[in-house]
Every structure is written in structure tokens, then in C-alpha cells.
């Protein structure tokens, strides 16, 4: 019998989430962000399911785009960070991959390239993230140069990226939207601003293209805070395992490495075959919730490479073989990430190959 730890991937949930994205922004085109191996879910598997349901996809780099092309994905693919050297432009042109231009160096490479066919370009404007993008005051000049460049397929789509859209009361987001409006109002161009929190909570940001990423996998970009549209999402990944041992521990006895948890009463401890070698965070604190037989129980003791221990004293009697959910259906990943001192994005994208992905509801 194989080790029971696995990441179950529900394609019906993915279909539901992308339908929600389209419903919330009915007048916008949908660009599914599948970078970082589709946030740990498997880029090729997820892209194949998404392709007939979205208008384009986005990745971080050319290598990620080529993986999709080699797997048969023909949908438009945007390089969110653009190219990292001039030679990549010819590959992008050959494979019909869209490119972002966000600085003077990339613009010069585009203008100087000798390409067999022109590229669809996107122009990124920095409205406050201060990571990538041209200054708002330079947007028109960049736009005109890209539009007149023989290597560009007409007008670029103009985009920006939010720094704090996961804060639904953010003044920064309002300022970014105002700057973006100022920079693009006279261009008569297609625009894109909404990432997942923008799509869910900032309808003024929807414009012509929306770029959902994290929300596609059924997780709220607002963490554990309640947000009405995010509450409608369904998790695609459920990290699950099983109980492999149950034991009684006397009051005062410690459990696990470093004796970080000590029983304050006679306790029942279940050992589960999952650990940081499978993607469960070592930094998860005592008390982090775990579902055992659908019942919540607290983590008790330090996370090991291959196992965790859970205090099941107050549950209906637990037995070897009982199912365990670490996050996903019934337990949002944010509730695990918060006591681990991180965010759900990191937990999902760091899922290692050791943990098998099992596709359901294909």
C-alpha cells in the first residue's frame, strides 16, 4: 500500500472558480496566471483544463511558457516579467508568446531585434508597486515607441499591478487606480489592472483584461478575513493523509522533537504521515488546526520531515487509517499559513514533487 499523503486536485472546483472570475468581470477578458507550476498545482494539467475557458494565460518567464507550448497549449501566453535577454524575443515570436515591456532596456531590445514576425506587447506602468514598470509620466512615450515599432503587433495592452489590493480599504489602491487612469486616459488602449484581489473586491479595476491567479485555485487573497466574493471560491488542492498511530500520553509528558508540546492532562495523540518533506510547514505552531475525520484538532509538537502529531483527546475515538486533511476542503490554507508565519501562496507554490498530485473530477 502506498503512503497516504497526497495533494488531491479537484478540476470541478477549478472550473467553478474560473466561471466566478468571468461572472464578476463580464465585460473583461480573462488571463489565467499559471506561473510557478500553477501555484504548485501542476501547470500543464491546470492549463489544459483552463484553455477552453479563458482568453489567455500568463507566466513569469519563457521557460514556463515553453513548457506549456511543448505540452500542446496553443492559447496566448504572456511573459509577465518580459524577456531577460534579447535572444528570447525571437523565441517568443516563433512560439507566439506575448511579452511585457517595462523598462528602457527591454524597449531597446524590442526596437533593435530582427524578428520574422511581430510580437503582441504589453506595457507595464508603475503606479505604486515600485517593482517593475515605467513611470506614469513616461507611459505615453513608451506607448508611442512600442506602437510604431515594426516588431510590435500594433498597440500594446497597458497594465499595472497593485501593492495592497488585499486590503479592501486600501487608500494605496485608490491612488494607484487614479494614477493609472491619468497615465492611460488619452491612449485609447486596452488596459489591465485586476489581479485576484482586484477582481474580487475592486470592480473599478476590471478594465479590459483581468488576471486571476491565486483565486483560481480556490483560495482567498484576503487571508482569514471575510470577503463575500472570496467566500464563493472552492479549493482546488486538498492536502490529505491518514493516521498511522494512536497513543496515550500521560500528563506532563512531551511529544516530538525539542519537547515543544507537553501534555497538561492525560492525552490521546494521533501520528499522521505528513511533514515538511511533503510541503507541510515546519514553522506551524502548536494549535494549528488539522481535520481528523472531519473534526478539528490541534497540532501538538514540532513538525517532522515525514510526520506530525495531533491532539485528538476531545474527538470521537480516532483509529489508524482515519482520514486527515491538512488544508483544502473544510480547512482553508490561510488558517494553516497564519500560525506558520506565512501566506497560503507560499505553502501552495512550495509543494514538493514527493507529494503526489491526484486529479479528481476531470
- Select which of 35, 142, 207, 214 is catalytic: 35
Q: For residue 197, what pLDDT is reported?
A: 98
Quick: pLDDT tens for 337-354: 999 999 999 999 999 999
> For position 362, what pLDDT does the model report?
87
Per-position b or e across 37-69, b if 16+ CB within 10 A of its CB: bbbbbbbbbbbbbbbeebebbbbeebebbbbbb
Instruction: Quote the CA–CA distance of 55 and 107 in Å, as a whole number.
Output: 25
| Number of neighbours of residue 223 by Cβ within 10 angstroms | 17
39 is catalytic: no
pLDDT tens, the chain, 362 aa long: 589 999 999 999 999 999 999 999 999 999 999 999 999 999 999 999 999 999 999 999 999 999 999 999 999 999 999 999 999 999 999 999 999 999 999 999 999 999 999 999 999 999 999 999 999 999 999 999 999 999 999 999 999 999 999 999 999 999 999 999 999 998 999 999 999 999 999 999 999 999 999 999 999 999 999 999 999 999 999 999 999 999 999 999 999 999 999 999 999 999 999 999 999 999 999 999 999 999 999 999 999 999 999 999 999 999 999 999 999 999 999 999 999 999 999 999 999 999 999 999 98
**Listed residue (167, 211, 236) closest to 57, CA to CA:** 211
Rg, C-alpha atoms of the chain: 23
d(CA 207, CA 58): 17
Distance, CA of 358 to CA of 356 (rounded, Å):
6
Please provide the DSSP assignment of 172-189 as one string: HHHHHHHHHHHHHTTT--
Place of cell 474580487: 200
Of 340, 286, 278, 341, nearest to 310 by C-alpha is: 286
**Structural domains in the chain, sorted by start:** 11-221 (3.20.20.10), 237-360 (2.40.37.10)
CA distances from 119 to 92, 142, 247 (A): 8, 16, 63
pLDDT at 2: 87
Whole-prediction pTM value?
A: 0.96
Q: Residue 1: its pLDDT value, please?
A: 54
35 carries an active-site annotation: yes
- Can you tell me the distance from the alpha carbon of 345 to that of 220, in angstroms, rounded to the nearest whole number? 10
Helix segments in 135-206, DSSP class H: 139-148, 171-184, 196-201
Give Cβ neighbours of residue 165 (< 8 Å, ≥ 6 apart).
Answer: 173, 194, 195, 197, 198, 201, 202, 205, 221
Question: What one-character DSSP code corresponds to residue 102?
Answer: -
Q: What does the DSSP assignment read for 4-45?
A: --EEEEEHHHHHHHHHHHHHHSTTSEEEEE-HHHHHHT-HHH
Q: What is the pLDDT of residues 298-311, one digit of tens each?
A: 999 999 999 999 99
Q: Single out the catalytic residue among 124, 257, 276, 345.
A: 257
Amino acid at each position: 500500500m502506498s503512503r497516504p499523503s497526497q495533494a488531491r486536485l479537484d478540476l470541478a472546483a477549478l472550473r467553478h472558480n474560473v466561471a466566478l472570475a468571468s461572472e464578476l468581470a463580464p465585460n473583461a477578458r480573462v488571463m489565467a496566471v499559471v506561473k510557478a507550476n500553477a501555484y504548485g498545482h501542476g501547470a500543464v494539467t491546470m492549463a489544459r483544463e483552463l484553455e477552453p475557458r479563458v482568453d489567455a494565460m500568463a507566466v513569469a518567464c519563457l521557460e514556463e511558457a515553453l513548457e506549456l507550448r511543448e505540452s500542446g497549449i496553443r492559447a496566448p501566453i504572456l511573459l509577465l516579467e518580459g524577456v531577460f535577454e534579447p535572444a528570447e524575443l525571437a523565441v517568443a515570436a516563433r512560439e507566439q508568446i506575448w511579452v511585457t515591456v517595462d523598462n528602457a532596456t527591454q524597449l531597446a531590445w524590442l526596437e533593435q531585434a530582427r524578428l520574422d514576425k511581430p510580437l503582441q506587447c504589453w506595457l507595464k506602468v508603475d503606479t505604486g508597486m515600485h517593482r517593475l514598470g515605467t513611470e506614469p509620466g513616461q507611459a505615453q512615450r513608451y506607448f508611442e515607441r512600442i506602437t510604431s515599432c515594426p516588431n510590435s503587433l500594433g498597440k500594446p495592452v497597458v497594465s499595472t499591478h497593485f501593492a495592497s489590493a488585499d486590503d479592501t480599504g486600501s487608500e494605496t489602491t485608490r491612488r494607484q487606480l487614479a494614477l493609472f487612469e491619468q497615465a492611460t486616459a488619452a491612449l485609447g488602449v486596452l488596459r489591465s489592472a485586476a489581479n485576484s484581489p482586484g477582481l474580487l473586491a475592486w470592480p473599478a479595476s476590471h478594465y479590459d483584461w483581468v488576471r486571476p491567479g491565486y483565486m483560481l485555485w480556490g483560495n482567498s487573497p484576503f487571508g482569514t478575513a471575510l470577503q463575500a466574493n472570496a467566500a464563493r471560491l472552492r479549493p482546488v488542492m486538498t492536502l490529505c493523509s491518514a493516521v498511522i498511530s494512536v497513543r496515550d500520553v500521560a500528563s506532563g509528558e512531551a511529544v516530538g522533537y525539542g519537547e515543544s508540546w507537553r501534555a497538561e492532562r492525560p492525552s490521546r495523540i494521533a501520528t499522521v504521515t505528513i511533514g515538511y518533506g511533503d510541503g507541510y510547514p515546519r514553522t506551524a505552531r502548536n494549535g494549528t488546526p488539522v481535520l481528523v475525520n472531519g473534526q478539528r484538532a490541534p497540532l501538538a509538537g514540532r513538525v517532522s520531515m515525514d510526520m506530525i502529531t495531533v491532539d485528538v483527546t476531545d474527538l470521537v475515538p480516532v483509529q489508524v487509517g482515519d482520514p486527515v486533511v491538512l488544508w483544502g476542503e473544510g480547512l482553508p490554507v490561510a488558517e494553516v499559513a497564519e500560525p506558520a508565519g506565512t501566506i497560503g501562496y507560499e505553502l501552495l507554490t512550495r509543494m514538493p514533487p514527493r507529494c503526489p498530485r491526484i486529479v479528481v473530477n476531470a
